[in-house]
């Protein structure tokens, strides 16, 4: 079935019978001389987000997921973090395709950045590709993107790899795990998953296919570790319905529901409850507006258009007649909820007696930003519900017993945990050992390390090629070098000192006494002795230079910079950014 979303053109792979769809002919795996697979995580092992895995043979490379990560508070001026794909760019002729597991930004958010540098086909479910298309348009690569729509049960052959897509339940529809048939055996890459027995859309995880693969023999399982530290089973998405229903019943004024823009199962429940309680629905936040529109057109969200109103018109209705769906569940400064918390939203206000529900996990590192938003909402007299004081959120990731079930269904020969901080990977490894995977067959790897898989072995080696992070200021074409970030951090912590030196152009002698300007380092009027000594040090540095050195402006700057940094570090135990200015008269 073809779908047309604002002229989105996506090639549909409509087979559903296990037939192979590819520009590359299938290779008889039994005739391959080299049965070794290289696996290189470019992101997602040792952190939350940035998910990107490379699978490589002598002839071919495929990539699973291209995610981004949001910056932490110690990265001033950084908007996004992408995986460093230098390894792939250097081997661009071998890259046969990108396979996407689902539509969350930590799995598709870097796709536009990757496609700016690699002209390769992309495979994903209809919803995943439709969500990804928004960013591809934003960054000007949609027109050249080769987007191929698949459905669970489809197979795609790309060189030495044949990928089978398997439906799994998650917090977004159309999520898949991927089984790779390779020269070294079957590799199952789960993506994000949980075993939800009562999913909102009624589509269960395809346990039968997972069990069939387990019977056939899985060489390697690479599995989601996000909730490895959580005991038991993750509750069903429907488990929060009653709590949200109660909030609807008790809210007499405006109700704000804040969640991830891609949490479509959650959004569907909000829509159903709004219908039940006869509230009109206003949507605010660009990503949420786009996702609701796209998912509705594709049939993944069922919403009565008569109940939708423009958020600009919300104030025209009585407070108890409206529910507002909003972005900003992680306290993002420019999100709709953050703007409302500060009363900076152009047409929506949170007023005394209103209720705000933040229905999302508090991602580690975002506590301060979320707390800032909550504090300001409370100052406005709102009632606040979030995961730590009410049952308004349930995870889309499997807890320990779900992870063990996946291991038992597939009973792989080798196991590698992915997606999560190092502690999550270690805990998942312990779960694997508890269900009978031999300790020596469980490998914990980190970003950039090389994993070698054969029919008999799985080993982790040191780093191979380039790996790391690309820091983005604005759009993907504006990348920050490490030194720029270090300078920003230094400025935010220790400030800046600008010594201004005027030299005679002929002999290089000092024409006037040096001037010292401080910004964010010390208060000049109360630090006269320190500044005077810094001036004397600057004079001595110049006097000790040869005439030839004085003629080189960069040399003068470097010598002054080094001397003053040492002086300030000794006197103040601080290291401001020192930017000497040398002028000649």
CB atoms near residue 470 (< 10 Å): 17
573, with CB counted inside 10 A (0-12, 13-18, 19+), is exposed
pLDDT, residue 158, reads 97
Q: For residue 365, give the DSSP letter.
A: T
Q: Domain-by-domain residue ranges, the chain?
A: 11-16+36-232+395-472, 237-385, 487-584
User: What is the CATH topology of the domain spanning 237-385?
Assistant: Rossmann fold (3.40.50)
User: What is the CATH topology of the domain spanning 11-16+36-232+395-472?
Assistant: Metallo-beta-lactamase; Chain A (3.60.15)
Taking CA atoms, 27 is separated from 20, 55, 158, 161, 200, in Å, by: 12, 16, 9, 9, 40
Q: Beta-strand (E) ranges in 495-560? A: 496-503, 515-519
pLDDT, residue 13, reads 45
CB atoms near residue 117 (< 10 Å): 14
First-last CA distance in the chain: 75
Q: Which of 560, 523, 517 is nearest to 541 (CA)?
A: 560
- CA dihedral over 489, 476, 191, 168, signed as positive or negative: positive
Helix ranges (DSSP H) in 391-546: 400-410, 422-434, 482-494, 528-543
pLDDT tens, N- to C-terminus, the chain (585 residues) = 333 323 333 444 443 333 333 333 333 333 334 689 999 999 999 888 899 999 999 999 999 999 998 776 555 556 678 899 999 999 999 999 999 999 999 999 999 999 999 999 999 999 999 999 988 998 889 989 999 999 999 999 999 999 999 999 999 999 999 999 999 999 999 999 999 999 999 999 999 999 999 999 999 999 999 999 999 999 999 999 999 999 999 999 999 999 999 899 999 999 999 999 999 999 999 899 999 999 999 999 999 988 999 999 999 999 999 999 999 998 888 899 999 999 999 999 999 999 999 999 887 777 888 999 999 999 999 999 999 999 999 999 999 999 999 999 999 999 999 999 999 999 999 999 999 999 999 999 999 999 999 999 999 987 654 557 776 655 444 444 455 545 555 555 677 888 888 888 776 788 888 888 887 777 666 788 888 888 899 898 888 888 878 888 888 888 898 898 888 888 887 778 888 888 887
Q: Which CATH class is domain 487-584?
A: alpha beta
pTM: 0.78
Can you give 150-180 as a three-state secondary structure string?
ECCCCEEEECCEEEEEEECECCCCCCEEEEE
pLDDT, residue 504, reads 83
């Amino acid at each position: 079935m073809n779908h047309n979303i604002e002229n989105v053109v996506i090639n549909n792979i409509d087979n559903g019978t296990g037939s192979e769809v590819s520009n590359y002919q299938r290779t008889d795996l039994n005739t391959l001389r080299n049965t070794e697979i290289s696996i290189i995580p470019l992101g997602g092992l040792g952190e939350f987000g940035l998910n990107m895995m490379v699978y490589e043979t002598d002839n071919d490379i495929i990539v699973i997921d291209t995610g981004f990560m949001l910056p932490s508070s110690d990265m001033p001026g950084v908007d996004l973090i992408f995986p460093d794909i230098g390894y792939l760019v250097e081997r661009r002729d071998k890259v046969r395709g990108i396979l996407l597991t689902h539509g969350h930004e930590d799995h598709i958010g870097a796709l536009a950045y990757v496609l700016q540098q690699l002209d390769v086909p992309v495979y994903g479910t209809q919803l995943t590709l439709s969500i990804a298309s928004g960013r591809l348009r934003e960054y000007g690569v949609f027109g050249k993107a080769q987007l191929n729509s698949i459905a669970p049960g489809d197979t795609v052959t790309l060189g030495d790899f044949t990928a089978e897509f398997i439906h799994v339940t998650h917090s977004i529809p159309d999520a898949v795990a991927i089984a790779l048939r390779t020269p070294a055996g079957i590799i199952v890459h789960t993506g994000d998953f949980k075993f939800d027995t009562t999913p909102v859309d009624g589509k269960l995880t395809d346990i039968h296919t997972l069990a069939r693969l387990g019977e056939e023999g899985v060489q390697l399982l690479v599995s989601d570790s996000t909730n490895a530290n959580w005991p038991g089973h993750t509750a069903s998405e429907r488990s929060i319905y009653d709590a949200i229903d109660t909030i609807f019943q008790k809210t007499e004024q405006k109700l704000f529901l804040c969640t991830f823009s891609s949490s479509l199962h959650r959004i569907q429940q909000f829509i159903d409850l709004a219908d039940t309680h006869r509230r009109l629905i206003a949507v605010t936040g660009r990503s949420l507006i786009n996702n609701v529109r796209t998912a509705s057109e594709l049939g993944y969200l069922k919403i009565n258009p008569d109940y939708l109103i423009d958020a600009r018109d919300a104030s025209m209705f009585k407070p108890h007649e409206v529910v507002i769906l909003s972005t900003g569940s992680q306290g993002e400064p420019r999100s709709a909820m953050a703007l409302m918390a500060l009363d900076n939203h152009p047409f929506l206000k949170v007023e005394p007696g209103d209720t705000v529900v933040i229905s999302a996990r508090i991602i580690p590192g975002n506590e301060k930003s979320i707390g800032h938003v909550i504090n300001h909402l409370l100052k406005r007299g709102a009632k606040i519900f979030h995961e730590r004081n009410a049952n308004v959120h349930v995870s889309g990731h499997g807890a320990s017993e779900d992870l063990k079930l996946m291991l038992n269904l597939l009973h792989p020969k080798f196991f590698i945990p992915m997606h999560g901080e190092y502690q999550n990977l270690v805990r998942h490894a312990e779960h694997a050992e508890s269900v009978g995977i031999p300790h020596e067959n469980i490998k914990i790897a980190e970003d950039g390390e090389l994993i070698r898989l054969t029919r008999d072995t799985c080993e982790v080696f040191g780093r191979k090629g380039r790996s790391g992070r690309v820091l983005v200021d604005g759009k993907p074409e504006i990348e920050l070098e490490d030194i720029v970030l270090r300078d920003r951090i230094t400025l935010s912590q220790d400030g800046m000192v600008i010594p201004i030196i005027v030299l005679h152009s002929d002999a290089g002698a000092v024409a006037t006494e040096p001037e010292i300007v401080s910004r964010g380092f010390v208060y000049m009027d109360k630090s006269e002795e320190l500044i005077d000594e810094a001036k004397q040090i600057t004079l001595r540095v110049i006097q000790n230079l040869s005439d030839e050195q004085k003629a080189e402006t960069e040399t003068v700057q470097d010598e002054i910079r080094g001397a003053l940094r040492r002086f300030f570090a000794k006197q103040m135990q601080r290291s401001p950014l020192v930017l000497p200015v040398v002028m000649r008269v």
